[in-house]
Structure 1
Amino acid sequence: MTRTYILLFICVVVWGSNFIFGAILVNTFHPVLLTTLRLLFINLFFLAYAIMCKKDLYIEKNEMKSVLLIGVIGVAINQWSFYEGLQTADPTTAALILALTPVMTSILAVFILNEPLTAKLVIGGGIATFGVFFVIGVGQRFVFSEGLIWIFITMLSFSLSIVLIRKLGNRDDMFLITFFSSIFGFLIMLPFLTFTFSHITLKYSIESWSLLIVTAILMHGICTLVWNNQLRKAQASTAAMFLNLEPFVTMVVGYIILQKSVTAIQIIGAVFIVCGVYIATFGYGKKSRGQKVLFRKAT
């Protein structure tokens, strides 16, 4: 189990670093081009993995529409909005906003999956949301920049994609859903790429290309496979607690690489967010016996 925890922690460190490396990459690549290229290399990695492991690349027809929707929302929109947002949004603030994902996922599940709205979800969600607005309000005087709006879209699209994946039901091999949704996401981005650029130039430095390719394969390829594999060995609630470390990883990596100082307001906000997410999601998925249900959608 120690090995599992170490691997989960490494994945979180890598994903937390994505905010910093993404902020660096958008200074070189246009967000649309960056999204398309990253998806290209991610899909090439997944294809190589599928061939090496002799995967049967097939999904049921009744799953195709859902996987396509996940590709649109959870891949294309999610990735695009993320890099659009990092052009102007502070990476640490972006990480704090995305830390709301577990709470937003639980709220969406109430209306889409008919799961109960419990008192602890409302209380925890309120505390976490307060943490985000504390950072934006006190730290930035409630200035919602275009970048922050894009990051909120990233958080919403990610949360919705998680709910859609859960709606498909439990599968022994989630790789196929990941692979085909990534393929669809890439194909959806191609028209936007041709619409955005009349002429595409790929003359970038070796350093820029290396950072793009390595981060794409490592963060969205290798870490995704490792995380999904280790989830079979660790409780979901334990894995969720590791994800709460992402904002703090972003703060540390941002300070090391970008020499970006971390404010007391961001730290206080992060504490509120982590505490709120913990309250809202601890024991999530277990029977709600003993929990006060405030609302349940009629079926």
Structure 2
Amino acid sequence: MSKSLTYTLLFLIMMIWGFNVIAIKILVESFAPVTITALRILLAGIVVMLILGIRKEFRKVTKPQLIYITIGALTGILGHHFFLSVGLTGTNASNAGLILGLVPLMTALAAILFLGDKLTILRMIGIVSGLIGVSFIVLNGERSVGSISRGDLYIFLAVVTQAVSFIAIKRATETMDARLMTGWMQIVGAFFLFVVSSRLEPDGLSTLTTGTPVDWIVFLASAILATGIGHMVYNKAIHQIGAGETAIFINLTPFFSLTGSYLFLGERIMVEQLFGFLFIVAGVLLGTGALEQSLRKHKQKRMAS
């Protein structure tokens, strides 16, 4: 796959992921949030496994790999998607999309804490910038610190749990294919979500009969395109062009979430949200080391020429 095609696919996936926040907002308001999330993740995992099976890339996993899969499923699937689905019942899609833009930054911070990555001055500035951006978003309007939306807090926890899961994924993918890791995480994580939904939403399955045809079209698009195929393409891109370049594209998802919430849900875009978006973009570029990596490559090219 050529670099230009990889860039094009990444752009499309970022657009799908941005709009997926709006899709999830629609789903959690139409069905029991945790139940529909468990079903969505299960379908995504099945799609990933079917694709791997057709391509004859399905492999058995070892016990150490299974441990990382379980950790990833508990954090990246159960934790992330639980907080995301419940959080979206208490905040708007535009706020959620912007806060989710912190994922690369929180992942970089987790790598510094757990993997020993170097903390540079630029990275520190990026982390602070990202947190300032979130403060603009969660305190927009007439809110004060004491009245931060619980939904916004849950979305932030969704960011933290996904960042932790990426550490487990990084460890596991040293010995197994990232796409296989994704599929197993989704299936195991869906099981955990079904267990939680049976406790929190005993009548959750009955809400599935109340959905409209549009709701189910949104469900299929979210499960298959965004959650299933989207993550496979993204993991493949990391392998081809590197994590630094791929992370830069993540900056597009808050933009598409913001515009999508305006176009499809009629949500107002606040000035504070725009300021927050700019700070988060700057934070991701600096905090993930993407800017430093780009400058380093440019310097090496100049020295070689």
TM-score scaled by structure 1? 0.89
Is 1:258 matched with 2:260? no
The question of whether the paired residues in 1 share the 8 Å contact of 2:112 and 2:118 is answered with yes
* Match of residue 117 from structure 1: 119
Q: Which residue of 2 aligns with 1:241?
A: 248
Whether the aligned pair in 1 keeps the contact of 2:49 and 2:58 (CA below 8 Å) is no
Residue 194 of structure 2 corresponds to which residue in structure 1? 190
Mapping for residues 43-54 of structure 1, pairs under 5 Å: 43-54=45-56
Note if 1:226 corresponds to 2:238.
Answer: no
CA deviations 1:218-258 (Å, max 9, x no partner) are 10111112222233332422221111111111111111111
Q: CA deviation at 1:171?
A: 4.7
Distance 1:121 1:57, change over 3 A: same
Match of 1:153 in 2: 157
* Range that drifts further, 242-251 or 44-53: 44-53
DSSP 3-state at the match of 1:27: helix
Q: Tell whether the 8 Å contact from 1:58 to 1:176 is kept in structure 2 after alignment.
A: no
Cα 1:45–1:129 shift into 2, 3 Å: same
- Opposite residue 144 of structure 2, the aligned amino acid is R
The residue type equivalent to 1:117 in the other structure is L
Higher helix share: 2
Is there any run of 5+ residues in structure 1 with no aligned partner, and where?
Answer: 290-299
2:30 paired residue among 22, 28, 31: 28
Deviations for 1:135-190, whole angstroms, at most 9, x for unmatched residues? Answer: 22343333311111211110001100111212335356211211111121011122
Shift of 1:216: 0.8
The offset of 1:110, in angstroms, is: 2.1
Deviations along 1:94-119, one digit per CA (max 9) or x if unpaired, are 12222222222222222211222222
- Aligned-residue sequence identity (percent) comes to 28
The match for 1:38 is 40
Going from structure 1 to structure 2, the CA distance change for 1:244 and 1:63 (only over 3 Å counts) comes to: same
Q: How far, CA to CA, are the matches of 1:284 and 1:252 in structure 2?
A: 26
| TM-score, normalised with respect to structure 2 | 0.88
Listed as ranges, the matches of 1:85-234 within 5 Å are: 85-139=87-141, 140-142=143-145, 143-171=147-175, 173-199=177-203, 200-201=205-206, 202-203=208-209, 204-234=211-241
Structure 1 distance, partners of 2:49, 2:108, is: 32
Q: Separation in 2 of the partners of 1:198 and 1:108?
A: 35
CA distance in 2, matches of 1:49, 1:281: 31
The equivalent residue for 2:74 is: 72
The number of aligned residues is 288
Q: Which runs of 5+ in 2 are unaligned?
A: 297-305
